[in-house]
Structure 1
Amino acid sequence: MLTAGWVRLSACAAREKEPWRAMACSVRRCVTWRSIGKKYVIVSIKTIDFPDAGRAGSSRHGEQLLRAGDVDGRAAHRGAAGGPAPRPAGAGPRATPSPPRPPRRGAHRAGRVASSRPPARPPARVIRPATPSDNAAIAAIWNREVLETAATTDTEPRTLGAQQAWLAAHGPAHPVIVAVEDGEVVAFGALSPYRPKPSYARTVEDSVYVKEGWRGKGLGGLVLDHLLALARAHGHRSVIARITAVNEPSLTLHERHGFARVGHEYQVALKHGIWLDVVTLQAVLMR
């Protein structure tokens, strides 16, 4: 049970000693704890000082304020100073002013000058079938690997004529594709016949090459994914990859795309004065 009200202290020691000072007692809450059967009363006492001119009638004036509920004389002072008059007893609560509205979203950005710099766009990367116009770019990528690395066992660079013949020999079942980024051929891949005998017609050998300076950007995986999709589309059953053992990036790339090591040829190719091992990997597309 909660009760609140003002009570007059009729027997207050302070009042007997100083009659010009009125005291009030506010009973804020009265809480009954049913579990232990005790009551706790929280009491606050406030004092009011009045002008002591003559000290006469001050006690009676203080009692009137107590009965009116003005325990500290603020209402009287506000009325004298021209402030809002005290509210009569029983009046409803004063209307509280509405809180200020928060600023509209984006208002703090008003007045900003728009940047003239165009937004950055991702590079335009395209995988498409190779055309005769790509022969020079394909030959440049291939010849660097032939002359400077052990990524292939070939030792003779291709002329432009040899490159044109190589591309023309790849029919629909053995496609050649290129990766183009911002108009530049940066990688290529091909499916080639594995063996000339007709019984090997549905087994192909893949090759993937990425231009120097463009490695590590996901181009090799993108090209290999497309080659495997094309192999399935043409009904091929197996894809073979023959990779020199020192070409670890290519071995890892193929294994990540489902190839398994099925053979290892030791010291079968001599290039740049070094004997190279060749690892054979296979991906079976249809089981």
Structure 2
Amino acid sequence: HPGESPASFICQGVIDFLVSQHPIAQVLRDHVIFKIVPMLNPDGVYLGNYRCSLMGFDLNRHWQDPSPWAHPTLHAIKQLIVQINQDPKVSLEFYIDVHAHSTMMNGFMYGNVFEEEERGQRQAVFPRLLCQNAPDFSLSSTSFNRDVVKAGTGRRFLGGLLDDTSYCYTLEVSFYSYLTAGSTSPVPYTEDGYMKLGRNMARTFLDYYKLNNLIDESKLTGHINRCIMQSHTVFHYLTAMQNDWPFSKKKKKYILFNQKSP
């Protein structure tokens, strides 16, 4: 959505970290392909719209059947996603749509609901890891739903279109502030605060792929290992699921970020 500017700073934080010389970023670049769409609604941004495109469409409600004439950017990115998903040599594992929220605090995620309980548990892994890395991310505000009103969103539509090993999320962040654990005093977000959340989200992918054995822990430097130490409770829960995950090391790993604000 064009008016959700905090999402732009999160996206910038992700990009800045991934292209940096930080050892975690270097490991991620060696193992994972990131596809980042920094702007899906440029005409809406140019016009100063809050939610809509030049033609008055909320693009995040038209994923089911986007028109190349009325929703050209959405139509193009959907074609790219379908193309990647159909490539037998790659595995599209994450789709993350970044937004800003006008009434809730902190960063949090929306995910989908699946019939298979195990798939739902696997979907909860990334938000749990992100909560350990980002003090402003709220696991309690994170939820999984199949609200019919959201049926045309990227998260809902792609969650039904992509393979069982693909996980689609909406990442929301507050327009104004966040609470840290044990605190009752809201902390105002700044541009750097939003970018820090983006950096922490990028770092979390290393935790995720270490858990999936894509990245050999023995090849990581001591510095990286110190950076990614997590709660023993969380890792006990996650590691118990590890052997049941349908995960292939032979395919290239794709992560797609989508962002609609300026």
Q: What range describes the TM-score normalised by the shorter chain of this pair?
A: under 0.3
Higher relative contact order (CA 8 A, sep 6+): 2
The structure carrying a bigger helix percent of its residues is: 2
For the pair shown, the structure with the greater C-alpha radius of gyration is 1
The structure carrying a bigger strand percent of its residues is: 1
TM-score by length of 1: 0.23
TM-score by length of 2: 0.25
